[in-house]
Structure 1
Amino acid sequence: MSSALAPLLVTTSLVIGPTAGARERLIAAHLAPDLPGAPACVAVLLEGLPDGTSIIFPSPSVLIERIAPGCLCCTGNLVLRVTLNRLLRRRPERLYIALAVTAHLDQLRSWLLQPPYDQLLELTPDLRT
């Protein structure tokens, strides 16, 4: 298959930090418009409620979804899958998944590397606050 026909993978980072605010600040730093080569459309999947005031806001180039905190690879799997699929249909160039609970981080990463996500996502090293 020609590389011109191959689908572009969405560069995806799991964002880990002690608080929702810390995770959002880290993502916001990566969303800075003055960064060279900034993607045209970024998706942000935030687990849990914000710490007070959010610092990331939706716009035509920033898609934001929030899901309830919990174990995303166990009890939250269906919610994560539905929300992730909804975001991916909008074809972002970059995706950040901010995790409130990291107990099963390796299982979540493994799940994201399996079909169908192995053909849709390119996982980067985790971003830690």
Structure 2
Amino acid sequence: MSAPPARRTALTLVTGGSAAQREAAIAARLAQVAAVAGPTHGVSAVLLEGLPSGQTVLSPSDSLPVHRIAPGCLCCTGNLVLRVTLNRILRLRPDRLFIGLAATDHLDQLRSWLQDPPYDQLLELTADLRT
């Protein structure tokens, strides 16, 4: 008898607006998840492209690791940094992962890359969150 398939992390790509607007959209979605699932809503993780402009909305914690990477095309010049950071996050086995993107020039290529091995077995892409 084979083992049941591993649970995949729900991945939401967050696009549009400013860095602050993307963070606010993620915070609002996390609040919705907590309201529905209650205090045991699991671990969520956030990966944001770019540096915050002023006050950040998301506060890192044990149940919400927040990572930032330098802005740049994540499927081209930032691919290695994205891959390393994403692998570190996935070792934590979060229930949900949000990736905030500063630009959407190669969004289809990034989405395709995230659906290729090994990420196809680790991630379940959900509908994008647009600000």
Normalising by structure 2, we get a TM-score of 0.93
Give 2:103's aligned residue: 101
Alpha-carbon distance, 1:5 to partner: 2.1
Deviations 1:21-76 (CA, angstroms, capped at 9, x unpaired): 00000000011174212631000000001121101011111011000000000000
Give the structure 2 partner of residue 77 of structure 1: 79
Give the distance between the partners of 2:15 and 2:102, measured in 1 at CA: 7
- The aligned residue for residue 19 of structure 1 is 18
Q: Which residue of 2 aligns with 1:92?
A: 94
Structure 2 spans left out of the alignment, 5+ residues: none
CA displacement 1:71-122 (0-9 Å, x = unmatched): 0000000000000000000110000000001100000000000000000000
| Corresponding letter in the other structure for 2:53 | D
Cα pair 2:16 2:103 within 8 Å, conserved: no
CA distance in 2, matches of 1:128, 1:80: 20
Residue number in structure 2 paired with 1:64: 66
1:37 maps to: 37
Give the Cα separation in 2 of the matches to 1:102 and 1:23.
13
Q: Structure 1: 5+ residue runs without aligned partners?
A: none
Counting matched residue pairs gives: 128
Return the alpha-carbon distance in structure 2 between the equivalents of residues 26 and 9 of structure 1: 23
Residues of 1 paired with 2:35 and 2:46: CA distance? 17
Structure 2 residue matching 1:21: 3-state secondary structure: helix
Q: What CA distance in whole angstroms lies between the structure 1 residues aligned with 2:37 and 2:5?
A: 21
**Where does structure 1 differ by over 6 angstroms across 4 or more consecutive aligned residues?**
none
- Counterpart Cα distance in 2 of 1:31 and 1:42: 8
Overall identity of the aligned pairs, in %? 62
CA distance in structure 2 between the partners assigned to 1:11 and 1:34 by the alignment: 15
TM-score by length of 1: 0.94
Aligned alpha-carbon RMSD (Å): 1.4
